[in-house]
């Protein structure tokens, strides 16, 4: 069991090493003003004249000049190589919800690792933000008001079933799997109400619904893991 380093009652922002635009960075911290950097993500925080509350990772991407600008007690090195820096952060941070920037849109292998971590840590309630989309692990049940025709994509990272109300193509009775049935490019007929059998499903929505998705995910039940 890893010690809890950060525990907040408000949303927090996690920053990874992929490029983050100024607009995206400030959109995240408007909702989650406390900032945690994953290793080299600290450079982007500093570039926008902000300071991470702490930096967690194996520190192989944090250069000496950036490290010198951060108080030593804010640097949390984790030397093991069995997990990514994103996972190291998720293992040690507790918050009602985390907003992640700098984990999408960079190297494809890093992006895939982040998506895998979303479902393996589905009990953590994390929304990853890209320039156009947001993505998060679907909780056991999830309801969100969306306009008619709005894009709703479901992508399974493992076997699962989803019952749905409010989708143009209903998912009831489908057996989802990443190498078989997927659910991308669906659309809403109005408010959606989804129930998921296992913590293996990712949901992808346009980023303009970030604030309402945050509220809905905070209200949703979690997968009950510690």
The domain segmentation of the chain, as residue ranges, is: 10-131, 141-201
**Whole-number percent of the chain with pLDDT over 70:** 98
Q: With 70 as the cut, is the pLDDT of residue 3 above it?
A: no
pLDDT of residue 136: 98
Residues 150, 188: contact at Cβ < 8 Å?
yes
How large is the average pLDDT for residues 87-109? 92
pLDDT of residue 225: 55
Number of residues that this document lists for the chain: 226
User: How far is the CA of 59 from the CAs of 37, 56, 66, 146, 208, in angstroms?
Assistant: 11, 8, 11, 41, 33
The maximal CA–CA distance of the chain, rounded, in angstroms, is 55
Handedness of CA 146, 202, 118, 101 (dihedral sign): negative
How big is the CA angle at 218 (ends 213 and 224), to the nearest 5 degrees? 125
pLDDT of residue 79: 81
pLDDT of residue 61: 82
Which of 69-73, 76-80, 104-108, 193-197 tops mean pLDDT? 193-197
Residues 66, 42: contact at Cβ < 8 Å?
yes
Closest CA to 89 of 117, 68, 69, 60: 117
Q: With 70 as the cut, is the pLDDT of residue 2 above it?
A: no
Q: How confident is the model at residue 209 (pLDDT cuts 50, 70, 90)?
A: very high
Q: Which of 62-71, 153-162, 163-172 has the lowest average pLDDT?
A: 62-71
Q: State the Cα–Cα distance between residues 83 and 56, nearest whole angstrom.
A: 12
Q: State the Cα–Cα distance between residues 67 and 74, nearest whole angstrom.
A: 10
- pLDDT tens per residue, range 112-135: 999 999 999 999 999 999 999 999
CATH of domain 141-201: 2.60.120.320
Fold adopted by 10-131: Rossmann fold (3.40.50)
pTM for this one?
Answer: 0.94
Q: With 50 as the cut, is the pLDDT of residue 226 above it?
A: no
Closest CA to 27 of 162, 225, 220, 211: 211
Closest CA to 217 of 115, 142, 123: 142
201-206 and 93-94 as β-strands: parallel, antiparallel, unpaired?
Answer: unpaired
pLDDT of residue 4: 74
- Kindly report each contact of residues 179-184 with a partner whose C-beta sits within 8 Å and lies 24 or more positions away, as own/partner: 181/156, 182/154, 182/155, 182/156, 183/153, 183/154, 183/155, 183/156, 184/153, 184/154, 184/155
- pLDDT tens per residue, range 37-83: 999 999 999 999 999 999 999 888 888 999 999 999 999 999 887 78
């Amino acid at each position: 069991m890893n010690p809890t380093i950060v525990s907040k009652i408000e949303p927090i922002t996690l920053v990874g090493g992929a490029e983050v635009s100024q607009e995206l960075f400030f959109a995240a911290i408007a909702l989650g003003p406390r900032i945690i950097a994953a290793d080299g993500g600290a450079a982007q925080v500093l570039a926008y004249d902000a300071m991470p509350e702490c930096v967690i990772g194996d520190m192989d991407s944090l250069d000496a000049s950036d490290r010198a600008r951060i108080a030593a007690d804010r640097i949390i090195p984790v030397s093991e190589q069995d997990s990514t820096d994103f996972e190291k952060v998720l293992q040690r941070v507790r918050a009602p919800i985390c907003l992640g920037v700098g984990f999408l849109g960079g190297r494809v292998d890093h992006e895939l690792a982040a998506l895998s971590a979303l479902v393996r840590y589905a009990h953590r309630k994390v929304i990853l933000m890209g320039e156009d989309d947001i993505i998060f692990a679907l909780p056991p049940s999830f309801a969100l008001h969306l306009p008619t025709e709005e894009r709703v994509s479901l992508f399974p990272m493992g076997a699962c079933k989803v019952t749905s109300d409010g989708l143009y193509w209903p998912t009831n009775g489908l057996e989802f799997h990443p190498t078989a049935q997927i659910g991308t490019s669906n659309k809403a007929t109005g408010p959606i109400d989804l129930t998921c059998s296992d913590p293996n499903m990712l949901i992808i929505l346009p980023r303009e619904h970030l604030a309402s998705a945050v509220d809905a995910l905070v209200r949703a039940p979690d997968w009950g893991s510690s």
